[in-house]
């Protein structure tokens, strides 16, 4: 009997160890987000050596610098060198692979001796590095890792589903300046989001310097929603943000909302109004009063005045001059005016004359705009008279000013009373073949601090990233929730005040305990 119990004990011990080993192996498979198109995990590891080299071929210099920057938070001593092959890290820029990988796709292969990153364009190499970054311990975001680092061997081939994977900050109602915007850009980059839309003007404020019309920023930059922040971006600050974003393969999309949502401009330049301010209805404020309320869509340019087009051309011309990206957003939502469609057609023509592609909220497609126009769909109710490319920002899935979960305070609920939860975001499917991507806005009439804006964006923006990047065939909500939970400590090390969605089993940073808003900023 004793021998039988002993043997049974050995059996249970072996089974336990096998189970523990299997769990450890499973745990050592990193949680990659967005889910790659093709991924084949191997059974062994690449162990980061004490000394390593990052070699690169022609054109991959910037990517090599990004990779070495990542390795600085490890104990390895790394250096870069030009070359095609080496043990360690090898970056290959291969333009002939563009048909296979496009501009943003990549291959990542990890063997026992070399980590190889291959792409047709620099953007692809950058995204390969972001995938590799997620394979390192989360501490790498903010601390020097002294222990052994093991990267699982793997073969990945990855190409995005959509070319437009966006995020929008409304800086008009409440102002968020360069420091926050740069932090947001860093976080977007990790999850392969590539378009940052800045809503720069509205009834509550004007947030971009226009040198030919200085009162726009001088006066319109002083107002905000009640309890919010005032301020504006100088053109130098805007360019700096743009350069910062471009280095991370993110394009800045500036929006000047018109002909409605325009009170801040009407206050600064009263001559844009009609007689007796008939273009302001209801008169929630009249020039020179500032407006601090939540309601919007009650003001518009006096469309009976031909001279307003000089104003439009001047403003859009300066914004175009300082914008490197291909796009200008003209807003165009929530307005009823018999001359509305005439205005939209003219504004679209002005933008195209500046060498940019026009974007507008979906109402704009009531006018016969150019076929190059991009419509941003937010309510799905507009009867369009043109077929255009579409950015999906439908409010029931992507309006992140709405609650993370039912009952969350200081959130909107007009589109969906229960809020917009992770599953609402993740399970979105576009049925329109003209869809070029997705974008999630945060309107800031009830978002007054950095902490609150973090709370609205994250982790829902991570779901947006997977919706925009991964194919329907590779997506699975349950699996996503599991992978997302593994990113809890990484978000903490990145100093993100994210909302801890209750359906997620968050892997928190046990070393530092509960997340503190005083944690130092990410070094990456």
Q: Among all residues, which ones are annotated catalytic?
A: 334
In this structure, are residues 318 and 212 in contact, taking their beta carbons and an 8 Å threshold? yes
d(C-alpha 333, C-alpha 298), whole Å: 11
Cis peptide before 34 (omega within 30 of 0): yes
In this structure, are residues 71 and 54 in contact, taking their beta carbons and an 8 Å threshold? yes
DSSP 299: B
d(C-alpha 6, C-alpha 173), whole Å: 72
d(C-alpha 70, C-alpha 66), whole Å: 6
Residue 337 tokens read as 């005016």
d(C-alpha 524, C-alpha 508), whole Å: 20
Residue 434 burial (10 A CB sphere; 0-12, 13-18, 19+): exposed
End-to-end CA separation in angstroms for the chain: 61
Please state whether beta strands 38-47 and 150-158 pair in parallel, antiparallel, or not at all (unpaired): antiparallel
d(C-alpha 117, C-alpha 67), whole Å: 10
Nearest to 330 by CA among 316, 341, 320: 316
Element (H, E) at 4: helix 2-27
d(C-alpha 224, C-alpha 370), whole Å: 34
Element (H, E) at 82: strand 77-82
Residue 516 burial (10 A CB sphere; 0-12, 13-18, 19+): exposed
For residue 61, the Cα-to-chain-centroid distance in whole angstroms is 25
- What count of other Cβ atoms lies within 10 Å of the Cβ of residue 429? 10
251 beta partners: 195
């Amino acid at each position: 009997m004793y021998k039988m119990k002993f043997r049974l004990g050995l059996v249970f011990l072996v089974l336990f160890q096998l189970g523990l080993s299997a769990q450890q192996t499973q745990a050592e498979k990193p949680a990659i987000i967005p889910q790659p198109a093709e991924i084949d995990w191997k059974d062994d590891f690449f162990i980061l050596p004490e000394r390593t080299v990052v070699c690169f071929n022609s054109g991959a210099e910037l990517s090599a610098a990004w990779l070495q920057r990542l390795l600085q938070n490890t104990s390895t001593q790394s250096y870069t060198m030009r070359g095609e092959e080496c043990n360690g890290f090898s970056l290959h820029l291969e333009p002939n692979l563009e048909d296979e990988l496009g501009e943003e796709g990549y291959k990542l292969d990890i063997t026992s001796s070399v980590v190889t990153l291959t792409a047709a364009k620099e953007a692809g190499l950058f995204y390969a590095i972001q995938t590799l970054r997620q394979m390192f311990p989360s501490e790498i975001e903010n601390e020097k890792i002294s222990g052994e680092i093991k990267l699982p061997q793997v073969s990945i081939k990855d190409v995005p589903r959509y070319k437009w994977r966006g995020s929008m900050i409304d800086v008009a109602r409440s102002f968020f300046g360069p420091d926050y915007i740069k932090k947001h850009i860093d976080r977007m980059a990790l999850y392969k989001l590539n378009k940052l839309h800045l809503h720069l003007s509205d009834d509550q404020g004007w947030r971009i310097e226009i040198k030919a019309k200085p009162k726009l920023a001088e006066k319109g930059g002083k107002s905000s929603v009640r309890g919010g922040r005032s301020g504006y971006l100088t053109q130098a600050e805007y360019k700096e943000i743009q350069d910062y974003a471009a280095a991370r393969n993110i394009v800045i999309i500036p929006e000047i909302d018109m002909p409605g949502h325009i009170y801040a401009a009407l206050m600064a330049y009263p001559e844009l109004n009609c007689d007796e301010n008939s273009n302001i209805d209801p008169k929630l404020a009249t020039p020179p009063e500032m407006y601090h309320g939540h309601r919007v869509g009650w003001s518009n340019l006096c469309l009976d005045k031909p001279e307003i087009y000089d104003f439009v051309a001047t403003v859009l011309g300066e914004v175009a001059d300082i914008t490197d990206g291909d796009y200008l957003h003209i807003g165009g939502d929530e307005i009823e005016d018999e001359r509305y469609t005439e205005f939209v057609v003219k504004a679209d023509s002005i933008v195209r004359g500046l060498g940019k592609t026009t974007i507008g909220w979906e109402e704009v497609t009531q006018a016969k705009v150019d076929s190059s126009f991009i419509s941003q769909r937010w309510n799905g109710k507009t009867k369009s008279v043109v077929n255009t490319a579409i950015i999906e920002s439908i409010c029931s899935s992507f309006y992140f000013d709405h609650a993370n979960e039912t009952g969350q305070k200081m959130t909107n609920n007009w589109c969906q009373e229960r809020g917009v939860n992770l599953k609402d975001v993740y399970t979105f499917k576009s049925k329109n073949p003209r869809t070029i991507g997705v974008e999630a806005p945060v309107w800031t009439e009830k978002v007054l601090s950095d902490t609150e804006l973090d709370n609205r964006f994250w982790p829902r923006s991570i779901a947006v990233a997977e919706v925009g990047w991964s194919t329907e065939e590779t997506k699975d909500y349950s699996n996503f929730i599991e992978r997302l939970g593994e990113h809890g400590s990484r978000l903490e090390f990145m100093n993100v005040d994210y909302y801890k969605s209750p359906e997620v089993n968050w892997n928190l940073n046990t070393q530092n305990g509960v997340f503190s808003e005083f944690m130092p900023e990410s070094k990456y």
